[in-house]
Amino acid sequence: MQFQDWISNPLNFLLENLEFLILGITTLLFVIVTLIISGKMIYRGIKLELKTISYVGIEYFGVASCWFGVTFNFIIILFFNIIPPWELHFIAHGGIVSIAQIFWVFAMTELLPIKTTQGKIIKILAIVFGLSVEILYIIIIFTNISWLGTPVAPIQIVYGWFSYIYLMGELIVFLSFGFWFVKESLRADDTKIRLKGKFLAFSFVIFTLASILEVFFQEIWIFVFARITVTCSAFFFYIGFLLPKKIENIFIK
């Protein structure tokens, strides 16, 4: 189907191109899973008065938002057979990532062995950079949207140079603190904490693999595999931070 056809009849394009339909479905499932997981973490943190857990939940909500754009387009197309303005796609796609990252840094500076003074400096830098990038991102959406990406299908874009820098930077921060936290967890004396560290290690390794596939490949079926993979990562992430009692009883006798 030609470019003009998928703009005028995007639903028909999805129905005629099975790989894009499956991509939309797997992305929607991932977003639903991560929204449930992040919501549970935020609620658990509030209930137990553990703000770091809530912060981590907010961060994972932000991580999931990298797929909100595809999900948003997919839902609008299914219900209305129109492609929403691409400005809305990019707002959904990356509009809260840098803000959520601030909460991740706050959580990690409190959970990791970081000195109080250094922690305060890191938090200030996180706020300054996070807000600056957020403002710049919004400006680019309404001035030079091609820097963020170019649509190639109703639910698919090819990233522009700014998106690569922006998302890779956020990914590096997320994974750097994440693997550091895993390292500290695996060295702990507490068996339960070490078990959490193992699940988190699986989560971050799988997430890294999915991210590499998303960034360096363009084949739709590879994207589908990456979405399934990152969904598995979300489950490990949830277990690693909250460790449900049933899971604990299975692995710790």
pLDDT of residue 37: 94
pLDDT in tens, 3-36: 457 888 999 999 999 999 999 999 999 999 999 9
pLDDT of residue 253: 66
pLDDT at 219 over 90: no
Indicate the number of domains in the chain. Answer: 1
pLDDT at 250 over 90: no
pLDDT of residue 175: 93
Mean pLDDT confidence for 86-108? 93
CATH, residue 22: 1.20.1070
Distance CA 58, CA 99 (A): 9
Partnered with residue 222 across adjacent β-strands are none
Question: Both ends of the chain: CA-CA distance in Å?
Answer: 58
Domain span holding position 238: 3-251
Q: Which residue has the tokens 């995007």?
A: 10
pLDDT in tens, 122-134: 999 999 999 999 9
